[in-house]
Structure 1
Amino acid sequence: MGENDKLDIEWNWRIDLNSRRRNYGFFGVVVAVFFGVMCSASSFASDSLPATIERIKPGIVVVGTFQRTRSPRGLFLGTGFAIGDGSLVVTNAHVVAKQLDEGHLESLAVFIRRGGKDQMVQARQVATDPEHDLAILKLSGNARLPPMRLGDSSKVKEGELYAFTGYPIGMVLGLFPVTHRGIVSAITPMAIPVIQSRQLNTKMLKRLRNPYDVFQLDATAYPGNSGSPLYDPESGEVVGIINKVFVKESKEQVLSQPSGITYAIPVVYLRQLMGKVKGER
């Protein structure tokens, strides 16, 4: 190999090395920008959620029943949240499906905590949609709560981060709402598969014939979270209503062995149901 060949190789190597350095430098800038954007987005989400929670908590209530001659007088059944002008409360249909003991003056009620004191407001059911597991209650008298704004559930995408606030485990934790957050891990038909045909019932067959999409979340809900609003951490707009959690083994083990899979009904079905109670506002 001649001297000129050696010089050509050395020169080409230096050009290639400088080119790689420039490429690596550009790659480093891209990575830095990417992680900067991701960190900023994460920071923005975490910064906005506390303010959102503080703003919406007064409108999130426990839904249950009240009976003056019973001990305890208040029975917690699930979660609800105020909508409209604040006199309406949304929850799941299965939360208020219990037959009331009207002979002993048992009534539907919502429970809230204001000024460090627990309060109760009686309510009545004004609309229900069993197919989509939704119910709307009307507060008695002139009672009003800060309402939550409804968003557009058709814009929800898999992978987006959302939060829900409610009362897990009911009366055990008292009137102190708890917030969980997670991503929408799937948008899937409301039809849980079964292994054997004998496990099917009339309700499940109906869902298989006319399935509708629900949001599957990777956040853990517990008994008492039914009826919790699923909302945008930044705006607080409701996009869904928590209605059930996937149970791996038995209902009794849902606390000790949660699956981490929760489902929410898109708010579009709540909008449809609200059309039936316009006269109640």
Structure 2
Amino acid sequence: MTRSPRRADRTWLFSLAAMLLLAYAVTPASQAADQLADTIETIAPSVVGVGTHAPTRNPRVDFRGTGFVIADGKAVLTNQHVLPERLDEERREQLIVLVGEPGSPEVRAAETVAHSRAHDLAILRIDGDPLPALSLGNPDDLRPGNQVAYTGFPIGMVIGFYPVTHTAIISARTPLALPAQRDDQLDPGQVARLRREQPPMVFQLDGTAYPGNSGSPVYDTATGQVYAVLNKVFVQGGREAAVREPSGISYAIPLDLAAPLLEEYERKFR
């Protein structure tokens, strides 16, 4: 029994429609994944580890967080809380950044040239040749629901110098202060202080991060433009709890709050 030409045409059209629907369903997701992979390749060489080095200490390097290269290629933006309160001069401790290829980092000396304790931001100046600087975007372009990524060293040097990338969405813009874990822990004095001090607005992210991620660049998954600096994670418990049971709630400082520090850096090294 042979098919009629009309029935054969219908079968061919149905097959073509099915293939087109399948292509439409699969291609956008795969394209987005490839796009993010390309973006990570561009971002990773500019992401550095931040810590201290002391020749008589074991281990010699104390990893403290993440940073990323901006401006002239010798400026590193990170969190203020990543930096030590003071350096141990007796042990000849110095501030450093770790740069280079995954698995084989180069140690570069660094110095703090601008910082803001109120906004938990700092800019370092590193020795040696300039590194690729990341492109900075306008934080006002981000809205709740936008997808972003951040690359850093979430568990420090436990697995070695290998940058790790997480993705998230922007959940909200919220005050920087986290006054309490529950409503019943807020007293009128705390509420009044928050209103008086008017803490800056930051991004809340629906994404998992860890203590070592502090200072990671938060960037657009397609363009690689950086909009914020990962600042902290919401935890119920101490540092161990943050690693063992991450909350999936993280916070990032918008780059507009780093503008005065960048201006200070450029005045010094213009």
TM-score by length of 2: 0.83
Residue-by-residue CA offset, 1:20-56 (whole Å, 9 max, x unaligned): xxxxxxxxx9xx99x95x8655443222110111111
C-alpha distance in 2 between matches for 1:185 and 1:198: 26
Residue-by-residue CA offset, 1:221-256 (whole Å, 9 max, x unaligned): 001000000000111110000000000233321111
Equivalent residues in 2 for 1:100-115, closer than 5 Å = 100-114=87-101
Pairwise CA distance, 1:171: 1.6
C-alpha distance in 1 between matches for 2:251 and 2:57: 33
Q: Which amino acid aligns with 2:234?
A: F
Contact 1:231 1:238 in 2 (8 A): yes
Which residue matches 1:119? 106
Which residue matches 1:183? 169
Which residue matches 1:240? 228
C-alpha distance in 2 between matches for 1:193 and 1:139: 35
1:192 aligned counterpart, secondary structure: coil
**Structure 2 gaps, min length 5:** 1-16
> Which structure has the larger Rg?
1
Q: Which amino acid aligns with 1:280?
A: F
2:148 aligned counterpart, secondary structure: strand
Contact 1:191 1:208 in 2 (8 A): no
Quick one: structure 1 residues 40 and 193, their matched pair in 2 at CA, closer, same or farther if it must change by over 3 Å?
Answer: farther
C-alpha distance in 2 between matches for 1:98 and 1:148: 27
**Structure 1 gaps, min length 5:** 1-28
Quick one: structure 1 residues 211 and 102, their matched pair in 2 at CA, closer, same or farther if it must change by over 3 Å?
Answer: same
Contact 2:64 2:82 in 1 (8 A): yes
Pairwise CA distance, 1:198: 7.4
Which residue matches 2:7? none
* Percent of paired sites with the same residue: 44
How many residues align? The count is: 246
TM-score by length of 1: 0.80
Contact 2:102 2:161 in 1 (8 A): no
Equivalent residues in 2 for 1:1-281, closer than 5 Å = 36=24, 41-114=28-101, 117-140=104-127, 142-194=128-180, 195-196=184-185, 205=193, 209-278=197-266, 279-281=268-270
Residue-by-residue CA offset, 1:55-90 (whole Å, 9 max, x unaligned): 111110100001112111111000000001110111
